[in-house]
Amino acid sequence: MALHEDKQCPRCHQLFECKSGSITLCHCSETRLPAETLEALRLRYDDCLCPACLQQIQATMTTVEV
């Protein structure tokens, strides 16, 4: 049984459904970011980001504005 939970994005504060219990359905598994961007996100945020924020970061591909 997949574990899904409602979370609040630490970047934009919007609610979203985290599907970490079923990683193949999770939006995180579809987002490709450079290693340095991922590291910057890990240092700045302590929880998952929502799909919209990940897409925005992916579109800009900068580590300055994360």
Long-range CB contacts for residues 1-7, cutoff 8 Å, separation at least 24: 7/47, 7/48, 7/50
Q: What is the pLDDT of residues 15-47, one digit of tens each?
A: 999 887 776 777 777 788 888 988 999 999 999
Q: pLDDT at position 56, please?
A: 92
Phi, psi of 55 (to 5 degrees): -65, -40
The span from the CA of 39 to the CA of 6, in Å, is 24
pTM equals 0.76
**Residue ranges of domains in the chain:** 5-60
pLDDT at 60 over 70: yes
